[in-house]
Structures are given as structure tokens and as C-alpha cells.
Amino acid sequence: MVSQISGTEVNRGEVRDKTDAGMVKINDNGVVFAAGDYGVRLSKDLCWTIRELTCNGKSLMRDCPGAFNGTVLITWAEEEKKDTWVGTGHGYEVVESVKLFADGKEQVIKDGEVYHGNEFRFIKSSDLRVLKLEATTIINDSGISERHRYTVTKMQPHISELYLFMHSFDVNMTKWLVKTSDDKLLSGDFTGNSKEPFRGNIQWVSLYNPVGKIGVVYVLTPTLDKTLHFFWDRVHDRKLYFRGPFENIRKMKKDDSFEYTVKLVGFESQEDAWKEKAATIALSHGKVQ
């Protein structure tokens, strides 16, 4: 069965991007959701995280090497007898359960399936060695919400770095815009030079593809005023990292919990108006539910 997912032709076992005729196979036991203008592919083999995201048939996130999305942290790995990265794509994350609700009704999750509906709620519970993660992804016509609730599993957990959210955006996103916590608007261009064009505190960010005239707005709730988030301008994608306050978490007690949410909203705009449109969208989604 072939279905239309926001302009991307999807067949069982494969996804064909019509814009460049490239073939991306669902060889990781993934599933695809279509809701409103959005198409989302989750990867089972990469801990049920987003591998592709489209809006109106245009790519916001494209599968590519190292495009790991989700949560990752540095803590002790007994297997290696050293501190190492733990989490999506880096190993050591154990997915304990997943649930899917389509339009409010629980559904059986079938590998390679394409789901159509007005709203999907995908809930993953996993173990990250020193933290338990309940990750809820909500997909509907208003955008993509990702709510991460963390529970500490050890007294004063050993953590030396924590990325609450990582997202690898399409390489054709060549422009960026940041609203900092002190209300400054900063902008620039991506060039694929493997550097960090921005590192600092953030209220919201936006990326834009001037050729496809497509962009995405990304809002974090609550805002972490003193935390330095950053872009990594890679050759094959534009990666955004939201860092968590791991210094505070290291002081927590067992069973303490904390929670953060991001909202991703795609939009279309002419190049001379994209910044204004991004700011308007960010303002309307400033309080993520």
C-alpha cells in the first residue's frame, strides 16, 4: 500500500523523497505518522527517535550519518570502565516500553507501518543509567511537541554533560535566527564548516531554507537562561543541542524529577519575510502545553 505523507511517497519498507528522488529505506523497523501538514518517521533501532520530518512535503529533518535526535548524557559505563556517552545513537539506552495513541485510542505498533490521523501521541519509557526518561511525542496539525520527563535513579547522579534535546535539521537550512534570553535577535548563515556559529542562552530558534522557502521554529519550555545551547554546523546537517543543567541535577536525590518540552513548528515563507514570520510563530507557541 502506498500512502501520501505530506508530499513524500511512502511505501511499506521505504520512503522516497520526490524532491531529489533519493531513497531512504525503513530498515530500522521504524514507523511513519501523517497528521495535517506533517510527516514524521521514528526509528525503532535508534530508540524510537525522529529520523525524518516533513512539512507540506518539504524536508525539515533528513536522515543522514550521525543525525541522532533525543537525549544523550555522559556518565559511567561499566562495560567500558569509563565515562562515556549514553543515549540515542550512542548506546546504553534501554527502551523499556512504548505506547501509541491515535486520535485518543491506543493502537498496536507495527514495524514499517504508515499511520494516518489527526493526532498521534507516542510515549517511550527508557533507562539512561542514572536517569529514567519518559519521552512523549505529540504530532498534530499545530506541529511536533516533545515532552521529556526525567527521574533520577541514584543519589547525586554522576553526570558530566547532558543534552536534553538534539535535533539534526536538513542541510538545506542555510540560515538561522536566535532570540536570546536577554531579548536579543541574532542571525547568520550556515556554511558546513563544522564550527559552532552560535553558543549561548536561547528563548527560541528558527532555521530557514531559502531555496525551498521552508523553515522551522523551535521553542523550549521552560527556558534555561544560564545554559549555553549551540548549533553544530556540519557538512551534512545543521545540528542543534539544548543542554541541561547537569550541575544542578548532580545534587538531586533519588526519585527527584524534572521536565522540559520543545515545540517544532514548520512554516513556509518568502525569504524577505521569514524572520518576521518565525518571530510571530515563536510568540504564539511561547507557552508549550
Q: What is the pLDDT of residue 73?
A: 97
| pTM, full prediction | 0.88
Residue 106 inside a domain? The answer is yes
Q: What is the pLDDT of residue 227?
A: 75
Q: What is the pLDDT of residue 14?
A: 37
Q: What is the pLDDT of residue 10?
A: 35
Residue 48 inside a domain? The answer is yes
Domain span holding position 238: 2-284
Cβ atoms within 10 Å, residue 129: 21
Residue 7 inside a domain? The answer is yes
* Residue range 13-66, pLDDT digits in tens: 333 333 222 233 455 678 999 999 999 999 998 999 999 999 999 999 988 888
Residue 225 inside a domain? The answer is yes
The C-alpha cell at 68 is 541522532
Identify the CATH number of the domain in which residue 248 sits: 2.70.98
Closest alpha carbon to 206 in 52, 32, 60: 60
Residue 289 inside a domain? The answer is no
Q: How many separate domains does the chain show?
A: 1
Q: Which residues of 262-271 are buried (b: 16+ CB within 10 A; e: fewer)?
A: bbbbbbebee
Q: What is the pLDDT of residue 22?
A: 27
Residue 103 inside a domain? The answer is yes
Residue 122 inside a domain? The answer is yes
Residue 219 inside a domain? The answer is yes
CA pair distance 242, 235, nearest whole angstrom: 20
10-residue block means of pLDDT along the chain (289 residues)? 34 33 50 94 93 94 88 93 92 95 96 93 97 98 97 96 95 97 95 96 96 96 82 96 92 96 97 98 71
Distance (Å) of CA 245 to CA 235, 250, 258: 29, 9, 11
Q: What is the pLDDT of residue 286?
A: 65
Beta-bridge partners for 125: 97, 134
The C-alpha cell at 8 is 513524500
